[in-house]
A and B are shown apart, each in its own frame.
Chain A
Amino acid sequence: MMDPKQPRPALEVRDIAVQFGGIRAIDHVSFAVGKGDLVGLIGPNGAGKTTMLRVVSGQVRPQVGQVLLDGRDMRGFRVAQRARTGLGMSNQIVRPFRHLTLLDNVALAAGHDRTSSPWVAIGSVSRKRQRAAAMELLALVGIASVAHADPRSQPLGVLKRLEVARALAMKPVVLLLDEPLAGLNQAEAGKLADTILELNASGVTIVLIEHNLAEAQRICRRFLVLDNGRKIADGPVAAVMADDAVITAYLGEGWRNATR
């Protein structure tokens, strides 16, 4: 089981600060995510959630702070290297490879051992095994029926799930999902949330950014709340949802004292 003394977190961020011109997008935030955890990273629009994910994945370099993956400092690791060390990521604003079918979008990720270096890549041709794996993942997220379609012709709900399938194909240890449920109808969202829960049960550590708080509350164990770049709450879901600062951040000043 776990080391009783000091279990090493799967993901830890220490004192991250990000400034875009005059905007302080993240203001010295620290947190840790334990192995096997399923954490909801929530907060109102513009809170800095996506920016935090982009810092962790290596797309944004923070002015200060550290990102540790399984205890390893990620400084100097580029996005591709982080992806190869077990960090899976899905984007809020979808970015499929437009000239590849949905299936090949996922197959490319599934073949990450083939693309590890150009030398390896030029030596192998068959995509059969990776396509089979990709098909299973597309089925898992419920879009196998459009596997051979062109992503440019697909609705947002499909592309969101494509993002998730592509992230899963990297066989991640830690999975970062940025609003995977957005653009899905209620039934689809419920199903994908169940899938996320199952993945977590199978051992993947997950950080889930969501505005769909109903589903997030249902599946997450813990919420971490950002507002205006600051961490304002961190703890069990029920406690966080009852927290005054969180309620104020979402609903505005005076909610508590207002008459019903």
Chain B
Amino acid sequence: MSAYVLSIVSLVGINIILALGLHLISGLCGQVSLGHAAFYGVGAYTTALLAKAGYPIGLTLPAAMAAAAVAGFVVGLCSLRVREDFLAIATMAAGFIFLGVVKQNEALGGEIGISGIAMPSFGRDGFVALELGVTVLVILFCLHVRRSWLGFGFSAVADDDVAAQMVGVDNRAYKLTAFCIGTALAGLAGGFLAYYLRGVSPDAFGFTASISVLCMVVLGGMQSIAGCIIATTILTLMPEVLRFADNYKLLIFGALLFLTMRFLPDGLGGLFALARRKEAGPS
């Protein structure tokens, strides 16, 4: 495979991990977050700092996940105090605060960020293989969560968190769990991104990035893991495919979001469900 293809493929993998993290929080557990990119950033910066300090990838990635999960836990605690729309705004606030802290902090490279991260010792191909392997594991993990009683509980909390409590589901514990797992995945994706780009800079983790991830999840249909993966792949490849129409790239992106949600509010997942029903025969 050419270097170009490899690089695109690994970016798709990173975005899938990132989007599945948000899928757990917003899709399965129903807590819409507008600040997911901040946790992506926490993971990336943690990895960048540790990698620069000479620690191996076997340590930096778990540390990235842990750091992001701790941040996610704190934001999750805040989320317990506020209602739905407030939650979206509170997570957005968390994203801006992260960005503000990073940009003003010289130890984190300020506006410029951190560069010069070395590829792991096993080289670029090995890195891509590792990353894709982990992506597959993350997909399997998310499928398991959905099938398990944890996913069952999440769907109850997403639907009606008082009724969930009436059947003994402790909505707070479940929301916090969703936040921790989802943000840990974002941290993992951020860790991979730091190696992929050989550096980090604050712009990659701003509000726009949070919105793009949310778009991947919503476009995928909120409930559907397959939809989420496909939507992520499409949205990641789109800038490459639309290279010829560079001036209209963002316009097309906006139109895609607008038209899909306006005319297909259940997203790709809804489309699959429709197809399945058609297949099953008219009734």
Contacts and interface: CB of A to CB of B under 8 A. Distances in A.
Complex contact flag A–B (Cβ < 8 Å): yes
Interface SS of B by simple majority? helix
Interface residues of B, number: 28
B149 A114 contact: yes
A122 B152 CA distance: 10
B208 interface: no
Given A100-B156, A118-B173, A124-B149, A83 B163 contact: no
Interface stretch (B164-172, B187-195, B235-243): B164-172
B153 A112 contact: no
Interface in B150-206: 150, 152-153, 155-156, 158-160, 162-174, 177
B145 interface: yes
A170 B163 CA distance: 13
B105 interface: no
Contact of A118 (B144, B153, B159): B153
A115 B148 contact: no
Contacts of B169: 80, 108, 112, 115
A200 to B, nearest CB: 20
B148 A125 contact: yes
A100 B157 CA distance: 12
Interface in B223-269: 223
Contacts of A122: 144-145, 148-150
Given A98-B159, A100-B155, A117-B173, A78 B165 contact: yes
Contacts of A84: 168
Contacts of A91: 163, 166
Contacts of B144: 122, 125
A180 B173 CA distance: 30
Interface residues of A, number: 37
29 contacts: A59-B162, A78-B172, A79-B165, A79-B166, A80-B168, A80-B169, A83-B167, A84-B168, A91-B166, A97-B155, A97-B156, A97-B160, A97-B164, A100-B156, A100-B159, A104-B152, A108-B167, A109-B168, A112-B167, A112-B168, A114-B149, A116-B168, A118-B173, A118-B177, A122-B148, A124-B148, A124-B149, A125-B149, A167-B166
Interface of B: 144-145, 147-150, 152-153, 155-156, 158-160, 162-174, 177, 223
Interface of A: 57, 59, 78-81, 83-84, 89, 91, 95-100, 104, 108-109, 111-112, 114-118, 120-125, 127, 166-167, 169-170
